[in-house]
Chains A and B, each alone.
Chain A
Amino acid sequence: MAIGDKVELSSWEKLGNFFRGRSVWMMWYCTGCGAIEMPPTMTSRFDMERLGMGPMATPRQADILLVTGYLSVKTLRRVIYSYEQMQDPKYIIAFGACAVNGGIYFDSYSTINKLDDYLPVDMYIAGCMPRPEAIMNAFNDLQEKIRNNEVDGWKRYKKNYDQYKKNQLKAVGEVYVHDEFHE
């Protein structure tokens, strides 16, 4: 399924999209330095809540995963774990240049370069780091896309699960770490 392929929806799904497009909860996970612009976006200056967005404590409750900037391998494992714990439909917004192609960390041995190899990204925000206005804009766009049924990252992830898993394994070696190495 290519990005943006429209599928006919049942009226229940349409109703669902109506609500999902107006109320989006994000997961409270500061994966990288882009997270420093989240508090201003959340708080009184930019007031994300007026768009129906809010932070949620756990992946089960959340709708979007914000990948705020670069991802180290260690974090990538945990992000994948969290993403798989989230409930459908779920979306990913990736922040900043680092998530697109590695950014200034293109030659770092511990950060990945292409996030969409491992997880289905629904929206990228350019910049280093993206300003709150850009973040708000992205959220607005995402909501509109959800309402128009144009985001299908979670479906793609399900469909191409093997491919994603292969990429993940290549980059991180082991997705679920079962060795208590620090003990």
Chain B
Amino acid sequence: MMNSMNNLKEQLKAHYKIAAFEEPTKMQLAFNVEPDKTLDVLAYLKSIGYGQLSLLTCIDWIEIEEFQLVYILFNWDNGIHLLVRTSIDRNNPKFRTIEHIYPGVKYYERDVHEFFGVEFEGNEDSYKHLFLELWEADCPLKKDFDPLEFSTNRYGNRKYETNFPRKVGGE
């Protein structure tokens, strides 16, 4: 198993000049890819057996004004999870869809679009709301969105009285 991990590293290094690898836990490999190379890398990884896209998610690094897209791939035959990361501009969040590589990503992209506002060019449905209905506020998973404030403003909080009447409406 470790062997296949090393093989993979070497191949990635040879093909795409990726040098920095992390191993967050056993049988897991994380690495950064340039945005314009991401699609190639993903297509390559799919071709060598990483057939499952477990998750596509996004991290809002607000301090450095970056969105980091993380594609988590899995190979069922050797049990290795790959975390393929790529960074895009937070102020102009646009990326290309990988629907042609992993068709299953369609709804993950809609998900990321809904919560972070990342636009995936090529995904026709990505602009549609999925979880939120008639949502006008900012994308909720961005770091500068404060849910408590939103909730208090919109839905209010219950005010508790200290002395409950003993019998309800018994006057």
Contacts and interface: CB of A to CB of B under 8 A. Distances in A.
Touching chains A and B, CB distance < 8 Å: yes
A54 B158 CA distance: 32
B64 to A, nearest CB: 25
Contact of B151 (A74, A102, A179, A182): A102
Interface stretch (A84-92, A125-133, A170-178): A170-178
A107 interface: yes
The number of chain A residues touching the other chain, given as a range, is: 20 to 34
Contact of B155 (A4, A77, A112): A112
A2 B140 CA distance: 39
**Interface residue SS majority, chain A:** loop
Interface string B111-146: 000000000000000001111111011001000010
A182 B130 contact: yes
Nearest 3 pairs of A and B residues by beta carbon:
A4-B169, A107-B148, A109-B147
Interface of A: 2-5, 73-74, 77, 100-102, 106-114, 117, 170-174, 177, 179, 181-183
16 contacts: A4-B170, A74-B133, A106-B148, A107-B148, A107-B151, A108-B147, A109-B147, A110-B131, A110-B132, A112-B155, A113-B155, A114-B157, A177-B133, A181-B134, A182-B128, A182-B130
Interface of B: 128-134, 136-137, 140, 145, 147-148, 150-151, 154-158, 168-170
Given A4-B170, A5-B169, A177-B133, 17 more contacts: A4-B169, A101-B157, A102-B155, A102-B157, A102-B158, A106-B151, A109-B137, A109-B147, A110-B140, A111-B151, A112-B155, A113-B155, A113-B156, A113-B157, A114-B158, A170-B154, A171-B155
